[in-house]
Amino acid sequence: MSAEESNTDNLPDQELPETPTPADTELGQTRMEVAYGAGDGDDDAQAIVARKASMGVLYEQIYRPWNGELGPRWVRNYAIFRHHVYGIFRGKGHRYYNPFVRLSILVIFLTSLTPIAMIFLSVTISGGEGSDWLNRMWGVNRYNLWGQVLGYFPRNLCMWPLLTALVVGGMISDDRKNGTSAIYFSRPVTRADYTAMKYLSSAVVLGFVIVFSYMLYYTSAIVFNGEGWAYLIDTLPIFLGGLLAGILLVITYTSIGMALSSVSQSRFFAAIGFLAIIFGTKVVALMIELIFETTVFYILSPYDSLAHLGQWLVGIPANYEHSLALSIISILLYNAASIGLLVTRVRSLEVTRE
Amino acid sequence: MSTKTTPAVLLEKCSKWYGQVIGINDVSLAIDGGVTGILGPNGAGKSTLFKLLMGRLKPSSGNVRLFGVDPWVSTSPYRRVGYVAETEKLYDWMTGHDFVSTLARLHGMTREEASDRASHVLDFVGLSDVQNKEIGKYSKGMRQRVKIAHALVHDPDLIILDEPLHGCDPIARTSIMSVIRDLGSQGKTVLVSSHILDEIERITEQIVILHNGRLLALGNLHAIRDLLDKHPHRILIRTENPRKLAESFVPEDPVYGVRFAEDGALEVLTNDLSAAHEVLPRVIVDSGLKVTSIENPDDNLEALLGYLVGDAS
Amino acid sequence: MMDRQGRGLAETVWTRLDRKAGAITELTIRQLRHRLSTWVVLAVGFLLLIALLALFIGGIRDGWEPIDNDGDAHDWDGDGYPAGQEFKYGSDPFDRFSFPGSGEFVEEGSFEWGSVGLYSGNHTWRSATGIFTYTWLDDSQIGGGGVLEVDSLEPCPDGELFENYWLDWGEGCRMGVDRIVVHDASFVGNGTFRVEEGYMAQWGYVADSFDVEPEPASNYIDEDDIDWTGDPNKINGFDDDGDCLRIGWPEDPPPDFVWWSWEPNHDSDRNGNGVDCDVEWIADSNGNIVAIIPDDNVDEDPSEENLAYEDAHRAFIIGTGKIAFVMILGIFLPLFLALGLVRDETENGTLHYLLSKPIHRGEFITYRILGYLVVAGGFVLIMSLLMGLVTASLGPGDSIFRLKDVIVWLGIAFATILALAAYGAIFNTLGLLSSRYGVYIALVIGVYEFVMAVLTLGGAELIPVLSVSHWTLQLIDSIVLIVWPNTIEMHIIASAFDLPSGITAFWSPPAHTLGTESPFISGLISVIVLLLITSLMILFGQSQFKRREIM
């Protein structure tokens, strides 16, 4: 071994240091304090670092029961819900959403609001051909209301599945990967509550973008065009039909996404799996329709089943030849299977890092 | 380049910082031959040092040379280096033999050569009986040993082991230590890092002490100890009557002071630890007091570091 | 001496590299093999293709119903005569009282719309709605289904017609022994008719009627096949069924109303080449057919055996190749398998084992991608061969085994593997660039590529140029055209004769041929673009990875 010049000098010729007092090392923190970092009443309890106890000492552990009042169940559940939803707006103290995910949600939300801008444009340049054309293209009618939530291009081709994949993908898989479900299950939270709140918060985030933008679109059309009660009476049933279709879409997508999230340990497997299901079934059914001339395979596609039902709800002619009942059964089966899978997976979720 | 002119490991005024955090601070070091223990508490820069040596990190300033070659630029010195990383993860689905032989093939060995070498090194680290079991079923000590085996498979001249004893039970510890000692006696250069002085002491006498990224001490452990003997040592004695025992210690020559610790133990202060230990039994017997324990709290890394860096740490 | 040594050294370096490549590739394959998600993904892909094959085999077993492309085999008005026969005799195919030999109805009187009243006599009654009390009712069937079937009338329900019950058009019911209620029906009888309020009735007699035996509908299916001599300079096309030339038709002069042509008037030389009732095939200077213009009613109902069957068969291969292979396997396999090739190793820390070996980081990336390609590409290749075996043995045509099917499938596999390589390189590089954002960006790129593939299928040529899927799909288009050069003719034929065609839905002539229209050029360009994307992405990933500090 050969030492280089620079560091040898700070070795031997040091001043005599003060002998460290063992005082501050001897009084250890209690384990509870270390774990929870709060000195709420445990200050007088102490445990001494074992190294010092040369003869071996058993320390009596006193766990004082907490006699406070447990908040009602909904308050606890609301806390879980809030944790997931607020995370989109504020990272601190809430669930972490990747900045990219937040950005995507914002972009998708703004894109889904474009018809409002178009209606506004048509009002401001009122009169003239351009306004007419804008109103025809983006104004409220059965087709546009349907298209706002269920149109394939661009909404169900580019936006909604991606949104679902990004938001729902990590909901449960992250907990499985990091073992963070212990945070919930070590507290008075049942697995059912945990699942339900995760489900609800994902659905609310999706609903905010998909359904809320739809409602905004309808109301802004009324406000901008100065429509009266007669208009409302005419269009409200169509609007409600579309609203129901949108809610069904949110529920179905959330169910499938949550189920995939619960079976995997990687958010990306869940996300990619979701996209694969939505896109894969759609194009395969499309291909089968073109070659074998039957639309019945569209029941395999969650999107098409929802679109079929949505067309009926809004009252526009169906694109599909098979019976509507089949599509409804398909939606029900997809939801039932997904929720069933989700429930069984969460029930058997191990509270560790898997 | 031959080993005679270039040391296996050479760092010249090498620093590495991650943003505001300093990993290694102006370290110059040359190591060649024998087993060297790299000592330091967590965060002292041991892993940073090894990662610089293995070309994982680029030095912020200064030079790193492995057999005279910059490892950040070229992978060629790795032919002569075996590295046991700190990581706990292994390919759990592979058998130990598979793992070692697959990695051996990355040295350009044929399948047969690799398989032979793998069996050989697994035997050397004492895993030959479990070599066809999946790594996922291995105990912690076996996992550490299979990591060592993969680093030895190409018969390297330099072996770098990052915390090889971490998390092992005493039996595994002993067997790993003997493996490391064997390697040293085969004339290889071995770097072992640890934050436990005792472990290193049982393997080698050659040590490097790192603290907060700085090189604190370098050389023979005992030589360093002797240097430190100028510094005060404490002997902690627990007894039923510390005041009375203190009285009998005060006149003794190697003792320059006594103190009472807060829990009532007696602290005997000395500049010459071995001389103090020589008089200790006599004084205690003479006093006729019942002593429950005698501790040498300074005979550990923290104490050593405490002396080396003063109270600043 | 020096030379030999140099060669020896080169060999040593090469074989050592080779061994390292082998080791990393093998490690990657084994790693993928030990991941559950790989098997799930491959199994889903396998099931998808098996399901498509099952549909294909089901379609074969059902056989191919001959299709009446021009619609003249159908009895539109329900009088028992197929439209083609009616047309020959000049009767109106949409009027059930007008059929070959039906003669002419001479009206003697009528109740106009909304009138009320009674009329008695022995007449032929037409479009009559009301109650008929008779002494004689003709129960012999005249002509087809247009006439009321008096023998099999159901008893009327209680109450009033249109108030308490409803009768279909042309139907009636029996109210008593000598009384029937009818709705817009036609019959012959002697009695008194009371018209329903708000409806009408006509009476008169039929002149010049004669009996014509209805022809079976099959006479009018596949009756006019495409007659293509293979030489555009010869006279092509022949009016097999004579509905263009109209020689020897019973009705003389032939009627001008051509109901199935979109044109109101029949034009036996619509293409204006001076030849009546032929088909003009226009070829470019290379002899490739670029357009087909038929005269009216020539070659309008070709045999499915020759055309539609082949068309559907190719459409299945192209459609499956493009959608199942490129758009689903091609995009989703890399997303599942390639994203974590290096990223996962970095995150786990297992990368340290691999990088402490004398292997260059750049090589490492390449070999990892190679290993992934062996798994994903091997799967694609095996699946395409399986599809090829089934379609080649069950496909149409005389040959027992359609070798060209297998070649197209191999081409599809080749294109898909190129896509797998390009996506693998892109996703792997993204995973390397940023372990935090890279994966999200990969998801967005996956969706983007899918959208671009949909646009490409829809015929867009410009926007999707900036995507891997566009070039992959074009490569398949090119390969199809190379192996089956007549696909483009089938494409043109299908649009010229307005035949239902899957080829037009899934295949379009390659767009980027640099003006040469050669599928070899477009295929080559596609391959070059895909390889370029792959290698650029790998190089980019390598340069990033080389400078990466690994904690």
The three state secondary structure string of B65-116 is EECCECCCCCCHHHHHEEEECCCCCCCCCCEHHHHHHHHHHCCCCCHHHHHH
Which is more confident, C491 or C6? C491
**Is the confidence at residue C403, as pLDDT, over 50?**
yes
Is it the case that residue A304 has pLDDT exceeding 90?
yes
Is C354 in Cβ contact with B91 (below 8 Å)? no
How many distinct structural domains can be found in chain C?
A: 2
Range list of H helices, chain B = 46-53, 96-105, 111-124, 140-152, 170-185, 197-203, 221-228, 242-249, 273-287, 301-309
- As given in the structure block, the two tokens for residue C376 are 């994903």
Which residue of C lies nearest to B112 if distances are taken between CA atoms? C19
* Chain A interface test: which of C440, C447, C457, C506 (most A C-beta within 10 Å): C440
Q: What are the structural domain ranges in chain A? A: 19-68, 73-347
Note whether A325 contacts C: Cβ–Cβ < 8 A: no
Give contacts of C359 with chain B, Cβ < 8 Å: 75, 78, 106
**What's the pLDDT tens digit per position in B6-15?**
888 999 999 9
Asked if the C-beta of B79 comes within 8 angstroms of chain C's C-beta atoms, the answer is yes
Interface with chain B: mutation pick from A19, A48, A52, A354, highest number of B CBs within 10 Å: A19
Please determine, for the modelled complex, whether the ipTM score is greater than 0.90: no
| Digit-coded pLDDT (tens) for C474-511 | 999 999 999 998 888 888 888 787 777 888 889 988 88
Exposed, middle or buried by CB within 10 Å (0-12, 13-18, 19+), for B277?
middle
Query: C444 and A162: CB-CB below 8 Å?
Result: yes
Residues in chain C: 551
Note the pLDDT of residue C46.
94
Averaged pLDDT of chain A: 81
Query: In this structure, are C389 and C531 located in the same domain?
Result: yes
- Give A3's pLDDT tier (boundaries 50, 70, 90): very low
Q: A302 touching C, CB under 8 A?
A: no
Q: Which of C19, C35, C550 to mutate to test the interface with B (most CBs of B within 10 A)?
A: C19
* Min distance B7 CA to chain A CA atoms (Å): 9
Rounded to 5 degrees, φ, ψ at B157 are: -85, -30
Mark which of C207, C231, C265 sits at the end of a domain.
C207
Q: pLDDT class for C373, splitting at 50, 70, 90?
A: very high
Residue ending a domain, choose from C207, C232, C247: C207
Long-range CB contact pairs, A1-4, < 8 A, 24+: A1/B30, A1/B31, A1/B32, A1/B33, A1/B34, A1/B36, A1/B206, A1/B218, A1/B219, A2/B7, A2/B30, A2/B32, A3/B29, A3/B30, A3/B218, A3/B219, A4/B12, A4/B28, A4/B29, A4/B30
Residues B293 and B238 sit within 8 Å (Cβ to Cβ): yes
pLDDT at B298: 66
Length of chain B: 313
Residue contact C332–A275, C-beta within 8 A: yes
Confidence tier at A56 by pLDDT (50, 70, 90)? low
Query: What range does the domain containing C482 cover?
Result: 322-546
Single-letter amino acid, residue B117: R
Contact B220, B50 (CB under 8 A): no
3 state DSSP class of B11: strand
Check: CB of residue A283 under 8 Å from CB of residue C332. no
Helix, strand or coil, per DSSP, at residue B23: strand
Span B101-108, average pLDDT: 91
- Do C412 and C541 fall within a single domain? yes
Contacts of B77 in chain C (CB under 8 A): 358
Closest CA to C98 of C284, C251, C286: C251
Round the average pLDDT of chain C to a whole number and report it.
Answer: 84
Contact residues, B window 184-203, toward C, CB-based 8 Å cutoff? none
What domains appear along chain B, each with residue ranges and CATH number?
Answer: 9-223 (3.40.50.300), 229-312 (3.30.70.100)
| Tokens linked to C145 | 């289904």
> What is the CA A349 to chain-centroid distance, rounded?
19
The answer as to whether C32 is a domain residue is no
Torsion of CA A211, A216, A219, A223, to 10 degrees: -170
Structure tokens at C254: 């032939």
Are C341 and C485 contained in the same domain?
yes
Question: Which chains are adjacent to chain B, needing at least 3 Cβ pairs under 8 Å?
Answer: A, C
Residue from the list A8, A16, A54 with its beta carbon closest to the beta carbon of B218 = A8
C97 in any annotated domain: no
Domain finish residue from C192, C207, C222: C207
**Alpha-carbon dihedral C419, C421, C422, C424, rounded to 10 degrees:** 110
Tell the residue number behind the tokens 């050659």, with chain if given.
B206
pTM, two decimal places = 0.78
Q: Do A158 and C335 touch (CB under 8 A)?
A: no
User: CB of C356 within 8 Å of any CB in chain B?
Assistant: yes
Cα dihedral A183, A189, A195, A197 sign: negative
A267-287 residue pLDDT tens:
888 999 999 999 999 999 998
- How many CA atoms lie within 13 Å of B120's alpha carbon, on the beta-carbon side? 12
> Which of A145-149, C24-28, C48-52 is least confident?
A145-149
Which tokens hold the place of A52? 């010092």
Q: How many whole angstroms separate alpha carbon C385 and alpha carbon A57?
A: 74
Nearest-angstrom CA–CA distance, C506 and C492: 14
Pairwise CB contact (< 8 Å): C316 & A98: no
Tell me which chains share at least 3 CB pairs under 8 Å with chain C. Answer: A, B
**Looking at per-residue confidence, does B87 or B231 come out higher?**
B87
Q: How many CB pairs under 8 A join B and C?
A: 81
C window 444-503, beta carbon within 8 A of A: 444, 446-448, 450-451, 454, 502
Is the model's pLDDT at C528 over the cut of 60?
A: yes
Burial class (CB in 10 A: 0-12, 13-18, 19+), A348: exposed
pLDDT tens-place string over residues B136-168: 999 888 999 999 999 999 999 999 999 888 878
Question: Which uninterrupted H or E stretch holds A123?
Answer: helix A114-124
Spatial strand order of the sheet with B266-270 comes to B255-260, B266-270, B233-239, B291-295
pLDDT-based confidence at residue C146 (cuts at 50, 70, 90)? low
| Residue B293 contacts A where some CB pair is shorter than 8 Å | yes
Nearest residue to C457 via CA among C322, C333, C307, C547:
C322
Tell me, yes or no, whether C510 lies in a domain: yes
Q: What is the mean pLDDT of residues B191-201?
A: 84
**C201-254 residue pLDDT tens:** 888 888 777 778 888 888 888 778 787 777 778 888 888 777 777 776 765 554
Closest residue in A to B293 (Cα) is A54
Mean pLDDT of chain B: 84
C536 has pLDDT over 70: yes
